[in-house]
Amino acid sequence: MGIVYLARHLAWDMDLAVKHPRPEFLQSEQQRRDFEKECETWSRLGLHPYLATCFYTREIGNVPCVVAEYVEGGSLRDWIDSRRIYAGEEAAAIARILRVATAMAWGLDQAHHAGLIHCDMKPGNVLMAADGMAKVTDFGLAKILSGNGTSAVAGGLTPAYASPEQVRHDPITHATDVWSWGVSVMEIFTGGIQWQSGPVAGAALEQFGERGRKTVGLPMMPTAVFELLARCLRYRPDERPGFAEIAEELRDIYQDKFGESCEAEKPDLELLAADSLNNRAVSLLDIGRDADAEDLIRQALAIDPHHPEATFNLAVICKSRNEEADSWAIPHMRIAADAEPGNPAPVKLLAQIFSFGGRRDEAERCFDEAKQRAWTSAERAEIDELRSRDRKKHLAFVFAKPRSGSDFCADMIRFRRLMDKAESAIAENREADARRYAQMAADIQGFGRHPRLSRARGRLKD
């Protein structure tokens, strides 16, 4: 239905995916408005490890375009066709498939909580990060769930993955995505589509079971996965499970089969809330909705008073109005830097504020500190490039980079375990132990300002 371009956002200094629908799908002004409304709803999903972020929509050449996160690994469709999803021993392939299926379920669960139905769930609409973690994308056909829990079916569905109610043009619910998700996971194990119409996928699953749940050369579908998919492909929508239940069941299957936790953890949305608000604000600033953007930035700072990107963006807004900002922005940025000694972002942003204000010596010291904190050569090169710019002329708004992948999930698990210990120690009045666990949690990059950590520290005696 659309064309996708790889683009470079010059102010944000990052690669993006820009997609616009083909003209035949935008014949009327109402269709255009519907498309823009649905994409704006997609952008409200915010940052999520298992969703490709939609930053905003904009008209380019009189055509509405979606500006979204670029995910470098290609689609799940590509991974199935190239057989990359099956690489390694059978156990490794099954583990990879279960991680992908679980990530897809968590991503769709977030969409459903936001009142959205994807309506076109299929491997082509799942992007793969470099580390093999999956991200659901392309909400261009999505429908907003109405107050009575139903929505008219979207046009342009993909027949092989469509639910029976979609094909019948009946009102649809979240359960239609469950059907399409089940068909997509079945296809991973079968190696390709062997049915032409989505409503017969349940029968195709039964036949696959009769053949031993295996396609020659591909890993065998575990019995528990087969049974889960059978429930997802029940003809009656109200008999299908929800995605939170599906994701947790897949995690149990993974644990039983491999004796360890699945890396596709339930995401910590409390951590990502301020990031999401800040990024929505930047997208609105980019299209001239300054008042709405400032409101979102202030909401982000209400959640995380020392959020580096939100602090910086509010300072830029104030400076654009010739309002004084350094007296509060600089201390807040330094608090953020001290809270996360391994994170270069707050020091890098502080350097830009100093540079813009003509405080060159302080800017140089901050750039040096940011380089010392940087983990990769790419980060250090970015800092050098920022150092070379003339910040007296322009400060660009900044966004919080999307968090995703196995590393984020592993850090999230570690943070939760440490905070469980810290909170238990607080309840038992073991203050020294609580402070030690809280500090260990704070040392995890990206988690030093977590609201849960702030609440625990507030309960500790000074």
Residues ≥6 apart with Cβ < 8 Å to 143: 38, 116, 117, 119, 151, 152, 153, 154, 172
Per-residue pLDDT at 58: 76
CA atoms within 13 A on the CB side of 181: 31
- Looking at residue 22, the DSSP 8-state letter turns out to be -
pLDDT < 50 regions, the chain: none
Residues ≥6 apart with Cβ < 8 Å to 93: 85, 86, 87, 218, 219
Give me 359's structure tokens. Answer: 């405080």
Nearest CA to 433 out of 451, 456, 454 is that of 456
- For the chain, the structural domain boundaries read 2-69, 76-258, 291-388, 405-459
Q: Are 408 and 49 in contact (CB under 8 A)?
A: yes
- End-to-end alpha-carbon separation of the chain, Å? 59
pLDDT tens digits along 228-242: 999 999 999 999 999
User: Buried (b) or exposed (e) across 149-186, using 16+ Cβ within 10 A?
Assistant: eebebbeebbebbbbbbbeeeeebbbbbbbbbbbbbbb
Give me 388's structure tokens. Answer: 């070379």
pLDDT tens digits along 256-300: 999 998 888 888 888 888 888 898 888 788 778 889 999 999 999
Cα–Cα dist 169/153, whole Å: 6
Cα–Cα dist 213/97, whole Å: 15
Per-residue pLDDT at 148: 54
For domain 2-69, the CATH class is: alpha beta
Number of helices (H) and strands (E) in the chain: give both, helices first: 18, 8
The three-class DSSP label of residue 346 is: helix
With residue 135 as reference, give the H or E element that holds it. strand 134-136
Pick the CATH number of 291-388 from 1.25.40.10, 1.10.3720.10, 1.10.10.10, 1.10.150.240: 1.25.40.10
Cα–Cα dist 254/54, whole Å: 30
Phi-psi region of 171 (alpha: psi -120 to 50; beta: other; left: phi over 0): beta
Per-residue pLDDT at 285: 83
Per-residue pLDDT at 222: 97
Give me 171's structure tokens. Answer: 């009102």
For domain 76-258, the CATH class is: mainly alpha
Give me 294's structure tokens. Answer: 């400032």
